[in-house]
Structure 1
Amino acid sequence: MSVKKHNEEVDTNRHVLSKIIDCVKFCGGFDLALRGHDETDTSDNPGVFLGLVNLLASLDSVLEDHLKTATVFKGTSKTVQNELLDCMLSVCKDYILEENANADTVATALMERLGTILPDGQQGKLIAQAYDGVQRSFKRTAILDQVVAHRLPGTSTTRWNFHSRAVNTAYEHKENILRCFQTIRDSGDFDPITVREAGGFVRMMEDEVFCFFLTLFHKIMPHVDMLFSQLQKRNIDSVYITGLIKRFTSSIQTIRDSIPSGESSGSQQLPTKKRRGLGHEEQQLLAREVCDTILSHAKERFSFTKHLISSTLLQGDLFQQHSRTFPEAALETTVEAYPLLDKAKLKTELSLVYDNDQFRACSGAVTLLQFFIDNNLQETFTETVSLLKVLVTTPMATAEAERCFSTLKRIKTFLRNSMTQDRLNALAMLSIEKKLIRSIPDFNTRVIERFATQKERRAKFLYK
């Protein structure tokens, strides 16, 4: 009888805690502050979290009775909020790790299943059909293959080099693409929507302004692509980057200075229709503004590149070369970029690192830093460890940092600037990964289990 009563109490406590978790998830998912200025029962501004709890209590008699009669565990305090946020963050992290661990197993099972379904020698057809499946119509694809004999590359809103390929293909095959659209428009074999779309593309490709800017960007994009490919190399330094930027800006400046007023038709003499009220002078003015924007952005983005050469000082595959000839120029540039470093001490420490075979075995900055920590060498190689910390915390891409800062701006406002780091991390996870959290099965149950086992509690959450 006592076990039955205990489990009934656990059911009630879990039901109440699940409703409280829903309130925390709602606040985190919509970047709302949990706490208010005054959270007492008589306050006019108790905060969004308590407001949601009271709203659910008015719809749930069990929760309402719990809030009125609870003496051991009410579940609305700041401490409980922080503990729930910590449990939710841990559950989300564990789920991500589980998904990554099961990825290979799922892929293997899928390949085995496909091997059973598809007969021998037919796997290539599946790949080809998956590629062609992005086309809306096989008839359009057939006309494109027949007239143009070249597929148009896809585009991506986040990768500019995809647009570069599209621009170059459209320029190089402009006559054939125009003839393809005219064939679709005039053949009478397509539905009205396709005919209207083809007619719109015909008018666009015959437009003088479109042809002008297509030609302009066809001249600009090869230089942009070349700069992009060169910057992807791993063995680059500030001197190399400076030379690249200088050649790039010189090429763009040459294009800017050589824009004639009648460039819209270019070398391809296609009939054009002037559909917009934009004359040659306005076209030339806009083209110069485009070039000026590219030039100013290139100079601004690469105005500080000296810090890049510091990575060569701690590049493992260069240690043997550095032991023979110390990289004085790289050290000078690094100290100039990071004045906090002691040049003389850093040089002494690096000389010892270059001559030690154990350090040479480290494959990267993270591995080398971990080696220092594992062997308690932070106090011995203070300057090297400082430089390593700078290198390992320098982001390689800005997308993740920009996303995190956008979330931070919404969560940690001026009125919430005293929020602790753990609470901020959990709220950021709830905001950024809210779609993932909704997809986790039994998310509330997992959080309750972790909350119940986090520490010894007077309230009962575990069944007997």
Structure 2
Amino acid sequence: MENALKLAMFGRVNIGEQLNEGYRLGIRKHNEEVDKNRHILYKIIDCVKFCGAFELALRGHDESESSENPGVFKGLVDFVASLDSVLQEHLQTATVFKGTSKTVQNELLDCMFSVLREHIIDEIRSADFVSIQADETMDISTQCQLVLVIRYIDKAHNVQERFFEFIPLQSATADSIATALLDRLSSILPDDKKSKLISQAYDGASVMRGATGGVQKKVQDVYVNAHYVHCYAHQLNLIMQQVTSHIPVVNQFFSDLAGFSGFFSVLDRVVAHRLPRASTVRWNFHIRAVNTVFEHKDDLIQCFETIRDSGEFEPTTVREAGGFVRLLEDDTFSFFLKLFHHIMPHVDILFSQLQKRTIDSVFVQRIMQQFTDNMQMIRDSIPNLCGEHSASQQQLAKKRRTQGPGELQRIAAEVCDTILGHAKERFSFTKHLISATLLQGDKFQQYNSQFPEAALNTTVEAYPLLNKNKLKTELSLIYSNEEFKNCSGALALYQLFMESNLQDTFSETVALLKILITTPMTTAESERCFSTLKRIKTFLRNTMSQDRLNALAMLSMEKKLIKDIHDFNHRVTEKFASLKERRAKLMYRK
């Protein structure tokens, strides 16, 4: 008993002091003051979180008490103080630790960023497989930035794509990008966890995808299982760009179409709404321009004629309006307008499906099959579209030196063939993605009669960690079971196994599903991160340290994660209190 007593009191003050009434009162008073200081700090942390989530500037130009424009953060703290008497009293009487200084803000940002990074790293290390998505761009202050996004399945069996950080680059060369990535990966995945990294996704730039000296090759030399996946959303843009670059008439059509949005963007008094602008990068934006012009063709003609006849506009505007009238009445332009009115909705649907975070290679293969089927139907219906051109229109085409029905039919067929050809070529699965075909629900009946031995061998070769014999047995059972044939993707099948507690029974299939789900199909999350970067750099500060930039970006992009961490404020406070010796009392005594 004496030994137990000494162990319990080891490192503490002696029993005599603890029994002293004055000592106990001092401890109680100290802890009460800590409670008050922590309550105040929690409120300040909430204000910083609010500003970060909505990308609001923390500081204004004038933070003095008499300032009429003190900044969002100061105004928010004053508002919270009006609802909290403890905080209000503190702000009025505090002389040691007020909590609203620039230094405290920056230290809190550092602590928040550190807590979130630690939480994400813990999730990554507990996941079975990890993928990275990276992209680089020049930000608003002309600094080359690389964004790193980590994709994995968390403990709740949900797919997560977490922003990790913006990395400043000296140059956009393969060596510079690869060095930065490998440096960050070494801090996330220790040497004994390197096999977890099963995929890396970038855009199609040669710097990224180079087979001998590209970023993906340099990363795979260190992380052997990190197979490269081209961003499928970028591939869709490339397909549509091929259509216009190789067919001059189509290129001219989209140039003319872009003229409508440009005309009305400076002429808002004639129409109530602007026409959607076309984009050469985001091809799904063309769908709105095509649909608007097609559906309101007669209204546009009437509008342009009103501009010409009103006599209220300058000669340049009248001349352009006359040109648009002739363009809308042109048979060739009308034909391509109708053709792309059929094509672009399918492109738009496919593009939006490729932007989802939860897509996997099984899902991509299924939606690509739907897309090619729809393109083939449009290809087959081209003669009907061209049949609307009468003989008189054909004679008129010869006089005007425009395209006749036969030539239009040939060009339309070339457009569809180009889309189909490039879709099949660019979306054809590379060696490690052949594994997706093993779990494609619409082929289960075919696989039941003839097992896909070649695809299984390719899968095991790409991922040696899988047990081939056990995986074959499990897949054979899945193929023979009618209930699995309605599988719509790897994620749905994975969730079924987890909800039914079948992860041990189908252990190899679950491992393959995790690989397929963790493998990213697009770098859409990277693009979203750059969008946040641009807003932060533009609306907050054009020059700031990299740590503050990453912290503000993290607060904005991972605001849901902050809500999910139930003790976030407590962990930030503990880290803030332990940074250095503070005059304010923030640590409890016993």
In proportion to residue count, which structure has more helix?
A: 1
In proportion to residue count, which structure has more strand?
A: 2
TM-score range, shorter chain: 0.3 to 0.5
TM-score, reference length from structure 2? 0.36
